[in-house]
Structure 1
Amino acid sequence: MKTYGGAYMNYRKYLLEEVMPFWVNHAIDREEGGIITCLDKTGNIKDTTKNVWFVGRSLWSFSLAYRLAEAKPEYLEACEVLYSFLDKCTRPDGTLPFTCDRDGSNEKYRQLYYSEAFAAIGCAQYYRICHKEEVWQRAEKFFDICYSFYQNPETKVPFPDDTIPYRCFGIEMIMLNLAQFMRNAAEAEGKADPKYDALAKETIRQMIVGGHISDEEKVVREYLPITETPLKPPQLDYTCPGHVYEAAWFVLCEGEVQNDDEIRALGFKLLDYALPEGFEKEISLVVTGINDPDLNNYIWWPQCEAIVAYHLGYNISKNEKYLHIAKQLEEFSFAHFADHENGEWYTEVDKDGNVVNSDKGTILKGPFHLPRMLFGMMSLTENGDILTYMS
């Protein structure tokens, strides 16, 4: 059996005892379906508005926890509740809103199609534990909607009049992850389809030639104009290290699956460009975005993405620099973001580790980034590579 020497803790135990119970006990909406994510530090509900991202994201997390960590009945029950909410918020054309009220009404929409992408991977993973054909069909429907928008972005909801149309690096990253988890589920369940590989290859090609990556400046720009009109602040020169770390470890995963050194090289480039040279040595944490007006506080999710990205980088390359940074991030994050009394992580801390926002869930925080980091670390530390996570 392969081994990995970079373990900071027992990630499986932490997932099962400190993270998933918080969401099972406080967030799953057994009355209306779906999940309520706006929760204070002890799990009290602050707002019942639902972010539809987390219907799919949470369905993915609970399905993976059931399949890879422990087949707990409460995880399966949570999946059933989450999946049921899709009937309430899916429009006749198959698209999903960004947010809605607790009962699925009062939908609000955004330009991006993240809700559909997360619903696709959630349904795909749920299918692997329930084997209901309608669930797989729904996963494919959401995938096809995303793929169509990706290939024909002009067909998506138009940008507001005061917004210069842009391409977002986050789309490439999310579409790669969508392709990977649809492909993995399809192959595992005897439903292989070349369209998933085709999308994965196209997203990687776009990362290379699309213009987001500047080798001269060693930076990855989040936004690029899709017309001749130049961008203005805040999109102009904005970079999102969290998205770059996500992309880095997704690309490294793809390099491992395909055993392709060129793909791995792109992953390492993204890992090295995620922050300006020396920046992480100064603060040991990941900011939300360069050119962010507030660089003094740090939120939970970029730390999660950076931790698993650096560990995976070390696992593949054995470059001690990556392990050193990963350990710094883990030591700080588990000391200051983690709530060892009530479970889960706080939303935001300052650079000294003082809690700035003690909420465990918000409209943009739910059971996804932290569980996903723990799944990745389980694979690395228990199996010596990332392939179990990618299976």
Structure 2
Amino acid sequence: MKNSLDDFAASVENELSAIMYYWQNFTVDTMHAGFYGSVDNNNLPDLNAIKGVVLHARILWSFSAACNYTGQTAYLPVAERAFDYIEKYFIDREFGGVYWSLDAKGNIADGRKQIYALAFCIYGMSEYFAATKKQTALDEAIRLYQCIEQYSYDPAYKGYFEAFSREWGALEDFRLSSKDANEKKTMNTHLHVVEAYANLYKIWPDAGLKEKIAELLQLFVTHFINTQTFHLKLFFDEQWQEKPDVISYGHDIEAAWLLQQCAEIIGDTHLITRLKKYAIHITNAAMEGIDTDGGMWYEYHPVTNELIQQKHWWPQAEAMVGLFNAYQISKNEQYLHVCLKNWQFIQAHIIDKVNGEWYWGVLADNSIMPNQDKAGFWKCPYHNSRACIELLQRIKLLA
């Protein structure tokens, strides 16, 4: 077992370096500033593509986290570039929060306030502060936290509303993307708010923030986790009436380990015990989406009994961490076996061995999904770099 874990760690360490190399060398926008809004599978940038704040915040987190894990300060200039671009162009100095998107030159394209985006900026800035101790980064992260609490928190029913206009007014369309249901409260946004808050708590252990993290984790226990199936419920109205939708295997497996980690960060023993138990149940439910080749399918529609036969990059990254976490908790080597098989699938079909980084995904016959970004609005280094860092830290813990 030790040899297989050593080999696993060595290959994951190499992949982390390769991911960082790709983003350092193929995504920096040398014509304007920040990072290209879109880069294709041949590493050709679209010089006019819209720039998303989530992309920049995730680059900020990935390079800060890679520096914090490896000690390589060569990663800091990329993190600094991302932070400076967010601070100069994305932060709304008039109304607070961050813009959703900009044009290639840095002008506002969509000024809406998507809480998901504020959360990722908190996540990235917290990690950047941990790497640099730059006070501006902590100050900005705290301001964004206060923005979310001021405008998005629901004092009547708890939880957070999805989105607002630039001036924090009401919207008719709350959606992150066209594939999402148009509902006021979503699992996805709450997952990334608690993730961001927990990362902020590590460098700013504020008592009020700790209470908010515990409340968010309790919302998952109460509303988001289906305790019959242990899949995650995704969409709700403001009074927590569920609006049934798909089963998202990637979100299931991501939540399985991430909720537990957030409870551990705040040291809540009751929540740690409960969420460790749930981590196993949710991982088992998510494993319904693991194919015989080790790859994780994208989504399943229960009403139509339709499996979306695509294997996107990010559920594979989350699957590795979730499965390894289940192995750590249970010591059941079946989880490790499936984790290693998933890594073999990623190496065989998801990693681009010619041009670098990971493809968006593959179809059922393992052909590459056409017309998708290698880097872009949603295609960022966060899922795969984080998976590498998490796995390396966890393997060292076992050793």
**Normalized against structure 2, the TM-score is what?**
0.84
Which residue of structure 2 aligns with residue 237 of structure 1?
245
> CA shift at 1:283, angstroms?
6.3
In structure 1, the partner of 2:358 is 345
2:43 aligned counterpart, secondary structure: coil
What is the one-letter code of the residue matched to 1:198?
Answer: E
Higher relative contact order (CA 8 A, sep 6+): 1
Aligned to 1:80: 80
Change (3 A) 1:294 1:208: closer
Aligned: 1:383 with 2:397: yes
AA aligned opposite 2:237: P
Contact 2:99 2:113 in 1 (8 A): no
1:104 partner SS: coil
Write the deviation string for residues 231-255 of structure 1: whole angstroms up to 9, x where unpaired.
4xxxx33222212222111123245
Which residue in the other structure is 2:202 paired with?
A: 184
SS in 2 for 1:375: helix
How big is the shift at 1:149?
4.3
Residue in structure 2 matched with residue 268 of structure 1 by the alignment: 280
Where does residue 102 of structure 2 map in the other structure? 100
User: For residues 290 and 111 of structure 1, do their structure 2 counterparts lie closer, same or farther at Cα, with a shift above 3 Å needed?
Assistant: farther
CA contact (8 A) 1:66 1:72 kept: yes
| Equivalent residue number for residue 24 of structure 2 | 24
Instruction: For 2:336, give the aligned amino acid.
Output: L
Kept in 1: contact 2:233–2:242 (CA 8 A): no
SS in 2 for 1:355: coil
Q: Which of 281, 287, 295 lines up with 1:285 in the alignment?
A: 295
Q: What letter matches 2:58 in structure 1?
A: R
What SS does structure 2 have at the residue aligned with 1:107?
strand
Partner of 2:177: none
> Which sits farther off after the overlay, 107-116 or 61-70?
107-116
Alignment of 1:352-391 (within 5 A): 352-357=365-370, 359-384=373-398
Opposite residue 104 of structure 1, the aligned amino acid is G
Pick aligned residue for 1:121 from 111, 114, 123: 123
Alignment deviations for residues 7-29 of structure 1 (CA, whole Å, 9 cap, x no partner): 6242222211x111111111123
- Matched with 2:257 is 249
**Paired residues for 1:95-174 under 5 Å:** 95-109=97-111, 112-152=114-154, 153=160, 156-157=163-164, 158-160=170-172, 165-174=183-192
Count of matched residue pairs: 370
Q: Distance in 1 between matches of 2:3 and 2:200?
A: 28
**Displacement after TM superposition at 1:131 (Å):** 2.1
Residue equivalent to 1:63: 64
Percent identity of paired positions between Structure 1 and Structure 2: 21
- Equivalent pair of 1:242/1:302 in contact (CA under 8 Å): yes
Q: 1:363 to 1:375 in 2, by over 3 A?
A: same
Alignment of 1:12-51 (within 5 A): 12-16=13-17, 18-46=18-46, 47-51=48-52
> What pairs up with 1:287-326 in 2 under 5 angstroms?
287-291=297-301, 295-326=308-339
Alpha-carbon contact 2:162-2:189 (below 8 Å) kept? no
Q: 1:274 to 1:83 in 2, by over 3 A?
A: same
Decide whether aligned partners of structure 1 residues 239 and 14 sit closer, same or farther in structure 2, where only a CA change above 3 A counts: same
Q: Corresponding residue for 1:201? A: 214
Distance (whole Å) between structure 1 residues aligned to residue 6 and residue 279 of structure 2: 20
Letter in 1 for 2:77: E
Q: Say if 1:100 and 1:282 are closer, same or farther in 2 by CA, change over 3 A.
A: same
The one-letter code sitting in structure 2 at the alignment partner of 1:59 is: L
Shift of 1:98: 2.0
CA shift digits 1:61-105 (9 cap, x unpaired) = 1111112124243x2211221112122121122211222112221
Which residue of the partner structure matches residue 90 of structure 1?
A: 91
- Structure 2 counterpart of 1:238, one-letter code: V
Residue identity matched to 2:236 = L
Task: Check the 8 A contact 1:4/1:381 in 2, yes or no.
Answer: no
The CA RMSD over aligned residues, in Å, is 2.8
The answer to whether the 8 A contact 1:55-1:82 is kept is: yes
1:356 is paired with a residue whose SS is coil
Segments of structure 1 that go 5 or more residues without pairing to the other structure are 187-191, 386-391
Distance 1:137 1:102 in 2: 27
Once the two structures are TM-superposed, the CA of residue 30 in structure 1 deviates from its matched residue by: 4.5
For 2:182 and 2:239, locate their aligned partners in 1 and report how far apart those are by CA, in whole Å: 8
